[in-house]
Structure 1
Amino acid sequence: MTQLGEIQQAILNGDSGAVGSLPVPESYRGVTVHADEVDMFEGLESRDKDPRKSLHVDDVPVPELGPGEALVAVMASAINYNTVWTSIFEPIPTFKFLKKYGKLSPLAKRHDLPYHVVGSDLSGVVLRTGVGVHNWKPGDEVVAHCLNVELEGPDGHNDTMLDTEQRIWGFETNFGGLAEVALVKANQLMPKPDHLTWEEAASPGLVNSTAYRQLVSRNGADMKQGDVVLIWGASGGLGSYATQYALNGGAIPVCVVSSPEKAAICRKLGAELIIDRSAEDYKFWKSETEQDPKEWQRFGAKIRELTGGDDPDIVFEHPGRETFGASVYAARKGGTIVTCASTSGYMHQYDNRYLWMNLKRIIGSHFANYRESWEANRLIAKGLIHPTLSKTYSLEETGQAALDVHRNAHQGKVGVLALAPQEGLGVRDEEKRAKHIEGINAFRGA
């Protein structure tokens, strides 16, 4: 049996504590992109770029473990849109991030390689910890958030997201979670929720924390009870958590989706006010360069029809270019548009009269700090927020999983098994799981 096989068997036997006495393997399988392939999609539109061609499963060396770091045996991971961006080499190849990071220090130089092991989520078991790590030990069952910070300068000590060397692990750093072993900083680790399987526990990380900061935190929209919250892509990987936070926080979600099937999922979560944008056939752009304010008005009227006359206090934005003009228009006077992504394009256009004359605010929100991530994970552990996992692939099928997300052919989150040989493993508290099984399975098979 291989060294990784021994580690896997110990975990599957429920003896995670034995992991620390087993040798660390010299290599592992990881999902990679290659530096010599960054031009492979040249001339193609984004929608035509196929992650199955650029994502590889390679044997790679286990990286050197540095101070304040941990090696984790990865049982499961998940797909985020940043893996799609990495796989199609947009907006820039991630090797530029790795090269810049590599110049920071001799330790960071490890990340500057001709291959990039991707992925920004994981659940697994700590294999080893570096010098100076006190809160975690080999055998701990963990999940990881994706904020990588150095914290040597003063800027990040009020909010670590403002650190001058803030990066997203597995996107702007190497040795990510779509692999059998991952390298993280110890302050990325959080306890694995004990009522979830490995794949369920891996799936919330990035999107759950992002939604928490964007909607709930004082660093984001600071949502309160009674707020009307317009949520784009409300059944998707990010929006599905925003919908749950709005409902749990006493707000009123208005869920924008693109199909009856996605509308049904929002209703299953408990949302009542739903707009199927495909059925309504909104066309916010007349052409590539001109938007249609009449469509903004029609959209705003639909929202008021559903809410009984109220405009959104908060607009939860992430599609970007396609929807941003409508979002700025639709927010109430004094309302907030909070944005964390631009999956339909980065160059936004909106009519500034609706912003300045109506005293609206645009807030940028990017992932979450450790405290926000910890709180978001705590809510998962308590069963107050649930994973939105709909489908799980094997490590070898990661390209197809990324293609699903790229083409929006998915619901909620798409998981990937690493060392876990099948779904359904890793549950430590069956009684708690039974109490929440309906919520846990809300997206299954969708």
Structure 2
Amino acid sequence: MTVKDILAAIQSPDSTSEDFAALPLPESYRAITVHKDETEMFSGLATRDKDPRKSIHLDDVPVPELGPGEALVAVMASSVNYNSVWTSIFEPMSTFGFLERYGKVSELTRRHDLPYHVIGSDLAGVVLRTGPGVNAWRPGDEVVAHCLSVELESSDGHNDTMLDPEQRIWGFETNFGGLAEIALVKSNQLMPKPGHLSWEEAAAPGLVNSTAYRQLVSRNGAQMKQGDNVLIWGASGGLGSYATQFALAGGATPICVVSSEQKAEICRRMGAELIIDRSAEDYRFWSDEHTQNPREWKRLGKRIRELTGGEDVDIVFEHPGRETFGASVYVTRKGGTIVTCASTSGYDHQYDNRYLWMSLKRIIGSHFANYREAWEANRLIAKGRIHPTLSKVYSLEDTGQAAYDVHRNMHQGKVGVLCLAPEEGLGVRDEEMRARHVDAINRFRNI
């Protein structure tokens, strides 16, 4: 039995759940990995000079044991997120520390502590097997997966699963991720694949769409409302492109910060009108490595008010971190909210606290999403309210190049990876709905 037999079953219109359940599993599958014995390979290099193409491998690895509450999924397509870049350059630390700690939780989790790490936190594919205790999903179900892995043995996680002490990001802090031909997930990571999307389109939104939903829309985030002005850093990127769509769909006004006219045009295609090209306007928030420039904060605030008719922003959608955080705190309106989910330019944030406490502003930390939030975000994709921002698709063999492009910010929106899918455009089940939204689905393509 090989993965080619699995692919043939997926492509056959006559395959039933019983057919998938009867398929023997292969002994191994191809997967994108990083290796534990190479974690020091970039020592002494600046972050920008660390090359994922050198650390990412395409290996044949054994199919992992299936445990209670878990599912094995044949992965048709996946995508590259920034956490895959961090994993590949071993920053801010090696992910093998995560795998070692997870391996100590139970006898079952010891499977994850290996000398290789199968990475990737998105997938679209087909359920092959479910473990004991799984009732909601069957072999043959077409699914996407969100990346929250929880144990839920503590009461802390039962109001918001993101607060579970054993909360982890699948494919980053666990093994057997989605950049592979087969992936191991917990059944409560699974959601229905939107029928009007191809495999690669359906795989693209998962992590970033759910993250943006919690950050902006959820009561656990900024609770965005109609009429809010929302400053979105990197508004055409993998995360910001979904934040821009949520703002527009929710009746808010996005102020999109981008780094080129090309990226500004992408925001216009999404329907945004207020755009700041930070490169063209030459914002320099740091005078040197150690000193911020408050005059640039004020210049940004003035520019925002010019665009909004005199209003400051109610919400800042933060993820660059060190480079922009001081400016973000400054430009937020009195009583407003800065919500942050990442620090792609550095984790050591500095800001002038007078502008926070004296103006009663709030900083909210937001990390991925719980199952309900991820489900709601996926539901909006399935209804055609929010659309994939897929710009380019790579083969599994070229994942290193895909990660390099994301690392060097050479991409727009999201970049996808074909895993088992032999070509793009497969997996569409609802052609009528697709026809109604095809322009929006493709607006990041061919840029």
1:188-235 per-position Cα deviation (integer Å, ceiling 9, x unaligned) = 000000000000000000000000000000000000000000000000
Moved segments of 4+, more than 3 Å: none
| Structure 1 counterpart of 2:395, one-letter code | S
- Partners of 1:426 and 1:257 lie apart in 2 by 33
Where do residues 33-48 of structure 1 align in structure 2 (5 Å cutoff)? 33-48=34-49
Q: Residues of 1 paired with 2:13 and 2:180: CA distance?
A: 21
SS at 1:343 equivalent: coil
Q: Alignment partner of 2:288: what SS?
A: coil
Contact 1:320/1:346 (8 A) holds in 2: yes
| Identical-residue share of aligned pairs (%) | 78
Contact 1:30 1:178 in 2 (8 A): yes
| 1:312-363 Cα deviation digits (max 9, x unpaired) | 0000000000000000001000000000000000000000000000000000
State yes or no: 1:4 paired with 2:11: no
Query: How far apart are 1:445 and its partner, in Å?
Result: 1.6
Measured after TM superposition, the shift of residue 16 of structure 1 is 4.8
Change (3 A) 1:233 1:16: farther
- Inter-partner Cα distance in structure 2 for 1:416 and 1:393: 5
Task: Tell me how far apart the structure 2 counterparts of residues 26 and 143 of structure 1 sit (CA, whole Å).
Answer: 24
For 2:324 and 2:411, locate their aligned partners in 1 and report how far apart those are by CA, in whole Å.
20
Distance 1:16 1:303, change over 3 A: farther
Separation of aligned partners in 2, 1:276 and 1:3: 50
Distance between the aligned counterparts of 1:23 and 1:142, measured in 2? Answer: 20
Question: Aligned pair 1:14/2:22, yes or no?
Answer: no
Alpha-carbon deviation of 1:145? 0.1
Listed one character per residue, the Cα deviations across residues 41-100 of structure 1 (whole Å, up to 9, x for unaligned) are 011000000000000000000000000000000000000000000000000000000000
2:197 counterpart residue number? 196
Cα distance in 1 for residues equivalent to 2:333 and 2:442 = 35
Write out aligned runs for 1:9-408 (5 A). Answer: 9-17=8-16, 18-408=19-409
Kindly report which structure 2 residues correspond to 1:427-438, keeping only aligned pairs within 5 A, or say none.
Answer: 427-438=428-439
Distance 1:16 1:54, change over 3 A: farther
Q: CA deviation at 1:13?
A: 2.1
TM-score, structure 2 length as denominator?
A: 0.99
The structural deviation recorded for 1:15 is 4.1
SS in 1 for 2:32: strand
Moved more, 213-222 or 3-12: 3-12
**Partner amino acid for 2:178?**
G
**Alpha-carbon distance in 2 for matches of 1:101, 1:22:** 31
SS of residue in 2 equivalent to 1:334: strand
Indicate if the aligned counterparts of 1:101 and 1:108 stay in contact, CA closer than 8 A: yes
Superposed CA offset, 1:18-46 (max 9, x none): 32221111100000000000000011000
Alpha-carbon distance in structure 1 between the residues aligned to 2:83 and 2:73? 21
Q: Does the 8 Å contact 1:16/1:140 carry over to 2?
A: no
CA RMSD in angstroms comes to 0.6
| Structure 1 gaps, min length 5 | none
Counterpart amino acid of 2:93?
Answer: I
Partner Cα separation in structure 2 for residue 414 and residue 137 of structure 1: 29
Amino acid at match of 1:121: D
Tell me the number of residue pairs that the alignment of Structure 1 and Structure 2 aligns: 445
- TM-score, normalised with respect to structure 1: 0.99
Partner of 1:445: 446
Q: Structure 1, residues 225-269: CA drift from partner, whole Å, max 9, x if none?
A: 000000000000000000000000000000000000000000000
2:181, 2:234 → 1: CA distance?
31
The question of whether the paired residues in 2 share the 8 Å contact of 1:388 and 1:440 is answered with yes
